[in-house]
């Protein structure tokens, strides 16, 4: 066992790289009369378990990582205490649409036959799920795009959530907190993301506060372990043969803690490589926070007479 054991010396957690079959065979060679279930039970009693690798480490880590994580938590607590909306947003892994193998297993009388390869050229399309998780209400909303992951697409999903759910759930609130990763369509360097948020603020009258997760900390984004993991578990082992199938599995994602989720299909063709003009940059009412201003900022709406045309 020692030659095949690794673990955490601080917490005492152990795991092994041998299978139950190999352990049973080795014990029988040592004249022990034992079966798999006995070995399984003994391993569990000794603190062993089957475990996956965890994506937690990174070679890149910003010096202000911990400070930003504490700031994220403080802002989230303050908004929740004041009963103001808090959204955790991100893009889920893109999925090919077609009769492709989807990792996982399902109860079936026979294995389902799928394509032997998963070439993009064989796909009927590509689903781009951009989601948001309403922290206070334990609700999810996912917009499934069909073209490109862009800042305009991301903000349109937030816009759709506000008009269909958010405005009714938070009728008297004028502030919205968005917690997002530092890269991608909602990256902190993206002026297009900020411009689109300005258009949303002008349209809704909301003051939008944005706090970004630091570099290599995206796995701590709440939507990852409060929504996306449950969606993946719900469609595990099921080929995503159509966009309707994707929407169906998202909409039927629930948990015992009360999570439920809505989804909509966005067929708009979003343009890439869109740049923000100097005039648009000047029109963004952006106020950087004193704490780590590159990651934390507020976008305020213009006065009614100066608002942009809603799109």
| Res. 105 pLDDT band, cuts 50 70 90 | confident
SS3 87: strand
Q: Which residues pair with 296 in a beta bridge?
A: 211
pLDDT reading at 104 higher than 70: yes
Distance between CA atoms of residues 117 and 301, nearest Å: 49
Q: How confident is the model over 159-179, as a mean pLDDT?
A: 97
| Res. 308 pLDDT band, cuts 50 70 90 | very low
* DSSP one-letter string for 7-18: E-TTT--EEESS
The owner of tokens 């809505």 is: 262
Distance between CA atoms of residues 289 and 280, nearest Å: 21
pLDDT reading at 235 higher than 70: yes
Structure tokens at 261: 């989720």
Distance between CA atoms of residues 85 and 165, nearest Å: 11
The overall pTM is greater than 0.95: no
pLDDT digits (tens, 9 = 90+) for 195-212: 999 999 999 999 999 999
pLDDT at residue number 63: 87
Distance between CA atoms of residues 174 and 207, nearest Å: 6
pLDDT at residue number 108: 83
Whole-Å CA distances, 8 to 3, 11, 47, 49, 225: 15, 6, 12, 13, 23
CB atoms within 10 A of CB 277: 10
Distance between CA atoms of residues 221 and 179, nearest Å: 8
Residues 6+ apart with CB under 8 A from 25: none
pLDDT reading at 239 higher than 50: yes
pLDDT at residue number 50: 75
Distance between CA atoms of residues 112 and 97, nearest Å: 16
CB 308 within 8 A of CB 202: yes
Distance between CA atoms of residues 258 and 230, nearest Å: 12
Please give the share of the chain, as a percent, with pLDDT higher than 90.
74
| Res. 60 pLDDT band, cuts 50 70 90 | low
Which pairing describes strands 286-288 and 296-299: parallel, antiparallel, or unpaired? Answer: antiparallel
Residues 6+ apart with CB under 8 A from 211: 68, 71, 72, 75, 177, 178, 179, 180, 295, 296
Return residue ranges of the chain for CATH 3.30.420: 65-306
Distance, CA of 48 to chain centre: 30
Average pLDDT, the chain: 90
> Between vectors from CA 178 to CA 62 and to CA 271, what angle results, nearest 5°?
90
Class of domain 65-306 (CATH, top level): alpha beta
pLDDT at residue number 62: 79
Whole-Å CA distances, 120 to 94, 117, 125, 147, 182: 12, 9, 8, 14, 28
pLDDT reading at 80 higher than 60: yes
Greater pLDDT, 185 or 26 = 185
CB atoms within 10 A of CB 37: 10
pLDDT digits (tens, 9 = 90+) for 119-149: 999 999 999 999 999 999 999 999 999 999 9
């Amino acid at each position: 066992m020692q030659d095949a054991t690794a673990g955490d010396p601080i917490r005492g957690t152990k795991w092994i790289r041998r299978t139950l079959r190999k352990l049973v065979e080795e014990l029988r060679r040592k004249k022990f009369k034992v079966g798999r279930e006995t070995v399984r039970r003994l391993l569990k009693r000794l603190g062993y378990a089957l475990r996956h690798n965890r994506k937690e480490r990174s070679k890149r880590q910003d010096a202000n990582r911990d400070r930003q994580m504490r700031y994220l938590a403080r802002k989230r607590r303050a908004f929740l205490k004041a009963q103001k909306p808090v959204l955790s947003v991100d893009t889920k892994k893109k999925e090919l649409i077609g009769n492709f193998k989807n990792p996982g297993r399902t109860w079936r009388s026979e294995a389902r036959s799928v394509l032997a390869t998963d070439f993009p050229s064989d796909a009927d399309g590509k689903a781009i799920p951009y989601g948001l998780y309403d922290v206070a209400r334990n609700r999810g909303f996912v917009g499934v795009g069909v073209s490109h992951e862009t800042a305009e697409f991301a903000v349109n999903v937030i816009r759709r959530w506000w008009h269909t759910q958010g405005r009714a759930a938070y009728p008297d609130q004028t502030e919205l907190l968005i917690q997002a990763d530092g890269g991608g369509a909602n990256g902190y360097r993206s002026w297009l993301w900020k411009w689109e948020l300005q258009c949303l603020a002008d349209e809704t009258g909301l003051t939008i506060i944005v706090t970004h997760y630091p570099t290599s900390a995206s796995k701590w984004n709440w939507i990852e372990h409060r929504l996306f993991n449950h969606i993946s578990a719900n469609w595990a082992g099921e080929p995503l043969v159509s966009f309707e199938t994707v929407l169906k599995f998202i909409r039927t994602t629930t948990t015992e803690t009360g999570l439920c989720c809505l989804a909509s299909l966005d067929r708009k063709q979003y343009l890439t490589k869109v740049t923000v003009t100097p005039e648009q940059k000047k029109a963004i009412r952006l106020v950087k926070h004193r704490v780590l201003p590159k990651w934390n900022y507020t976008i305020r709406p213009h006065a009614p007479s100066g608002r942009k045309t809603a799109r």
